[in-house]
C-alpha cells in the first residue's frame, strides 16, 4: 500500500512539474503506444481462419456445419455457404475428426449409403431409381479421385424396358458427365478417353459415343476420335500440331538471334514451314556388271553330256536333224571300223543383282519461308548479312527455301502504353511497400521514444526520491545536533552553578563502570 501511495505521489509530482507542451506530448505518445499494443494484441489473439473445405454441396455443408456446432468448434462461412473456414491451428485435427464421421461425402450417395437404408415394400421402379442414383454416386467418387478433377457430376439415362417394344427399337442408354477441373489444369484426350471407357464399362449396353463430357466452361471434352474417320482427323490434327511446333521453334531461334543484335522489341519474325508427311517405301534393284578379273559371273550350275562309240558296225554319220533321223535318210559309215565321240557342256551363270529397300520417314521439310522486319532502315548489304544469318540458323536450302528481310519503323504506341502502365503499377507497389516500411519504422521510433520517456521519468522520480530522503536525513541530523547543543549548554550551566553536585554524579558514574 505504501508503494502505491509513493507511486501516486511521485506521478503527481512528475506531472505537475511538466509544462503544457510536454503534457500534450506525453498524452499523445501514451495514446499511440496503447493503440499499437492494442492492435498487436488484437491481431495476435484473434483466430486465423483458413478454408477447412471449399466447393461443398449444400448437403455436405449442412452436415459439416451441424457437426461443428455439436463439437462446439467456431467456424465461418463464405462463398455463399460453399466454403467453411476454421482456425488454422485446428484445421487438420477437424478434418481427421470429420473423416472418421465419413464427411464430406462429396454431395453424392453410393451403394452403401442407399442400400443400407432400404425399406420394406420398395417397388421395382424405386429400386431401379435407387440403383441408378447409387451408380451415379460411385462413378462420381471414382472420377473425383483423378488428380486434375476438383469435382464431378454423372447423370445416367437408362430407358425403361418394355415387352411391347422390339429389342432393335429399344433406345440405347446414355450418360452425361460434368467436370470441374482444378485451376490452371487441362485434361488430356487420353484421360478423357479413360473416363469414357470407365463409364461405358460400368453401365450395361452403354456405348462410348453416347457419353458426353463437358467442363465448367461448357466446352465439350468428349469430342475425341473413337472411329476410323475420327482417327484420321486426329492424325491430321497431330500433323498440324507438329508443323506449328516446328514453325514456332524456328521463329523463336531466329527471334532470339536477331534480338541480341538489334535489341528486344526491334525485331519481328514470322516462319511458314511446309512439311511432307507422306510415308514412302522405295525399292531399288541394281544389276551389276560381271567381275572384270574373270569376265564371268557367278557359276550357278553345270550340265555336261559325253557320247563315245568304238568298234565295227554301222555308225550314223551326218549332222543331227530331220534329214538324218528320218528313215531312209540315215547316212551310215560302212568302212568296217568305227570310233565316235561327242562332248557337250552347258554352264549357267548367275546375273549380279543388288536390291535396296528405302523407307522415307514422314515429316521432311518441303519448303521454309521466313519474313524478317527490323525496326530501322537497312541497306542492301545489311539485308544480305541478316539473310545469311537467318539462313544459317534455319538450315537454308537455296533450291527450296525463301528468306525476306525488310527494314521499317515499328508503331510502338501500344507497347509504350503497356510499359507505362506496368511502370505505374510497379511504382504503386513500391509506394505501398515504402508506406508499410515507413509505418513500421514510425511505430518503432514512437515505441523507442515512449520507452525513453518512461525510462527518463523513472530516473527523475528516483532522483527526486533520493533528494527527498537526503533532505529529510539532513533535517533530522540538524535537529539532533541542535538538541545535543542545548544539552551540553545546560550541563555547562549546571556545572558552573553547582560544581560539587556535578562532581558527585561523575564519581558515581565512574564507580558504576
- Assess whether 433 and 502 both reside in one domain: yes
Q: How confident is the model over 254-304, as pLDDT tens digits?
A: 888 888 888 887 888 898 888 877 777 777 776 666 655 555 666 667 787
Q: How confident is the model over 72-106, as pLDDT tens digits?
A: 888 888 877 778 888 877 777 887 777 766 667 65
Q: Treating both helix axes as pointing N-terminal to C-terminal, what angle do 413-497 and 499-512 enclose, rounded to 10 degrees? A: 110
**290 within domain boundaries:** no
Cβ atoms within 10 Å of 182's Cβ, excluding its own: 13
- Assess whether 452 and 500 both reside in one domain: yes
> Helix, strand, coil shares of the chain as percentages rounded to 5?
50, 20, 25
Cα first-last separation, the chain: 48
Percent of the chain with pLDDT over 70: 75
Q: What per-residue confidence (pLDDT) applies to 313? A: 53
501: pLDDT strictly greater than 50: yes
Q: What per-residue confidence (pLDDT) applies to 488? A: 73
- The mean per-residue pLDDT over the stretch 246-251 comes to 87
Q: How far apart are CA 354 and CA 215, in angstroms?
A: 60
- Assess whether 249 and 369 both reside in one domain: yes
Query: Hunting for cell 497431330 — which residue is that?
Result: 238
Q: How confident is the model over 396-435, as pLDDT tens digits?
A: 888 888 888 888 887 767 667 767 777 888 888 888 888 8
Complete DSSP assignment for 105-164:
-TT---HHHHHTT--TT--HHHHHHHHHHHHHHHHHHHHHTSTTEEEEEEEEE-PPP-TT
End residue of a domain, out of 100, 121, 137:
100
495: pLDDT strictly greater than 70: yes
- Assess whether 123 and 221 both reside in one domain: yes
- The mean per-residue pLDDT over the stretch 29-41 comes to 75
Q: What are phi and psi of 428, to 5 degrees?
A: -60, -45
- Assess whether 135 and 210 both reside in one domain: yes
Q: What per-residue confidence (pLDDT) applies to 317? A: 55
Look up the pTM and report it.
Answer: 0.32
- Assess whether 135 and 195 both reside in one domain: yes
375: pLDDT strictly greater than 80: yes
**415 within domain boundaries:** no
Residues 6+ apart with CB under 8 A from 20: none
- Assess whether 247 and 390 both reside in one domain: yes
Q: What per-residue confidence (pLDDT) applies to 225? A: 66
Higher pLDDT, 469 or 180: 180
CB 347 within 8 A of CB 378: no
Range of the domain at 463: 421-512
Q: How confident is the model over 201-213, as pLDDT tens digits?
A: 888 888 888 899 9
Cell of 253: 531461334
In this structure, what CATH number is given to the domain that contains residue 144? 3.30.300.30
Q: How confident is the model over 328-365, as pLDDT tens digits?
A: 544 545 555 667 777 787 877 666 667 777 776 677 78
Q: What per-residue confidence (pLDDT) applies to 274? A: 85
- Assess whether 87 and 225 both reside in one domain: no
CB 370 within 8 A of CB 404: yes
Q: What per-residue confidence (pLDDT) applies to 355? A: 73
- Assess whether 148 and 254 both reside in one domain: no
Q: What per-residue confidence (pLDDT) applies to 265? A: 78
Q: What per-residue confidence (pLDDT) applies to 329? A: 47
- Assess whether 371 and 222 both reside in one domain: no
pLDDT band at 325 (very low <50, low <70, confident <90, very high): low
Q: What per-residue confidence (pLDDT) applies to 166? A: 59
What is the count of structural domains for the chain?
Answer: 5
Amino acid at each position: 500500500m505504501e508503494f502505491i501511495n509513493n507511486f501516486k505521489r511521485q506521478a503527481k509530482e512528475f506531472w505537475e512539474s511538466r509544462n503544457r507542451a510536454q503534457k500534450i506530448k506525453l498524452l499523445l505518445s501514451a495514446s499511440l503506444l496503447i493503440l499499437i499494443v492494442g492492435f498487436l494484441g488484437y491481431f495476435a489473439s484473434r483466430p486465423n481462419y483458413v478454408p477447412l473445405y471449399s466447393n461443398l454441396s449444400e448437403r455436405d455443408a449442412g452436415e459439416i456445419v451441424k457437426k461443428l456446432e455439436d463439437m462446439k468448434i467456431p467456424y465461418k462461412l463464405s462463398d455463399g455457404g460453399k466454403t467453411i473456414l476454421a482456425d488454422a491451428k485446428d484445421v487438420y485435427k477437424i478434418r481427421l475428426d470429420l473423416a472418421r464421421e465419413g464427411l464430406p461425402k462429396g454431395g453424392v450417395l453410393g451403394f452403401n449409403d442407399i442400400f443400407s437404408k432400404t425399406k420394406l415394400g420398395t417397388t421395382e421402379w424405386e429400386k431401379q431409381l435407387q440403383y441408378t442414383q447409387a451408380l451415379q454416386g460411385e462413378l462420381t467418387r471414382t472420377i473425383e479421385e483423378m488428380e486434375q478433377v476438383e469435382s464431378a457430376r454423372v447423370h445416367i439415362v437408362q430407358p425403361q424396358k418394355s415387352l411391347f417394344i422390339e429389342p432393335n427399337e429399344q433406345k440405347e442408354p446414355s450418360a452425361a458427365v460434368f467436370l470441374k477441373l482444378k485451376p490452371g489444369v487441362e485434361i488430356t484426350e487420353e484421360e478423357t478417353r479413360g473416363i469414357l471407357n470407365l463409364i461405358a464399362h460400368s453401365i450395361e449396353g452403354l456405348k462410348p459415343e453416347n457419353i458426353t463430357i463437358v467442363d465448367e466452361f461448357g466446352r465439350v471434352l468428349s469430342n475425341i476420335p473413337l472411329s476410323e474417320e475420327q482417327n484420321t482427323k486426329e492424325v491430321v490434327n497431330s500433323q498440324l500440331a507438329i508443323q506449328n511446333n516446328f514453325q514456332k521453334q524456328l521463329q523463336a531461334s531466329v527471334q532470339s538471334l536477331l534480338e541480341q543484335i538489334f535489341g528486344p522489341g526491334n525485331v519481328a519474325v514470322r516462319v511458314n514451314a511446309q512439311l511432307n508427311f507422306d510415308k514412302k517405301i522405295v525399292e531399288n534393284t541394281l544389276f551389276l556388271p560381271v567381275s572384270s578379273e574373270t569376265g564371268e559371273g557367278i557359276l550357278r550350275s553345270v550340265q555336261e553330256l559325253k557320247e563315245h562309240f568304238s568298234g565295227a558296225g554301222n555308225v550314223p554319220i551326218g549332222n543331227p536333224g530331220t534329214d538324218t533321223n528320218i528313215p531312209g535318210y540315215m547316212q551310215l559309215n560302212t568302212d568296217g571300223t568305227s570310233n565316235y565321240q561327242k562332248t557337250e557342256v552347258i554352264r549357267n551363270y548367275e546375273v549380279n543383282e543388288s536390291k535396296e529397300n528405302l523407307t522415307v520417314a514422314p515429316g521432311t521439310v518441303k519448303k521454309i519461308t521466313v519474313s524478317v522486319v527490323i525496326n530501322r532502315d537497312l541497306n542492301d548489304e545489311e539485308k544480305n548479312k541478316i539473310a545469311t544469318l537467318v539462313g544459317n540458323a534455319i538450315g537454308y536450302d537455296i533450291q527450296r527455301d525463301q528468306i525476306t528481310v525488310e527494314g521499317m519503323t515499328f508503331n510502338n504506341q501500344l507497347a509504350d502504353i503497356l510499359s507505362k502502365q506496368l511502370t505505374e503499377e510497379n511504382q504503386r507497389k513500391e509506394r505501398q511497400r515504402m508506406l508499410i516500411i515507413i509505418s513500421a519504422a514510425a511505430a518503432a521510433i514512437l515505441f523507442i521514444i515512449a520507452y525513453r520517456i518512461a525510462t527518463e521519468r523513472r530516473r527523475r522520480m528516483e532522483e527526486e526520491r533520493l533528494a527527498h530522503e537526503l533532505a529529510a536525513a539532513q533535517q533530522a541530523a540538524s535537529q539532533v545536533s541542535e538538541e545535543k547543543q542545548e544539552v551540553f549548554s545546560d550541563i555547562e550551566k549546571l556545572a558552573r552553578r553547582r560544581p560539587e553536585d556535578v562532581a558527585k554524579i561523575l564519581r558515581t558514574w565512574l564507580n558504576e563502570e
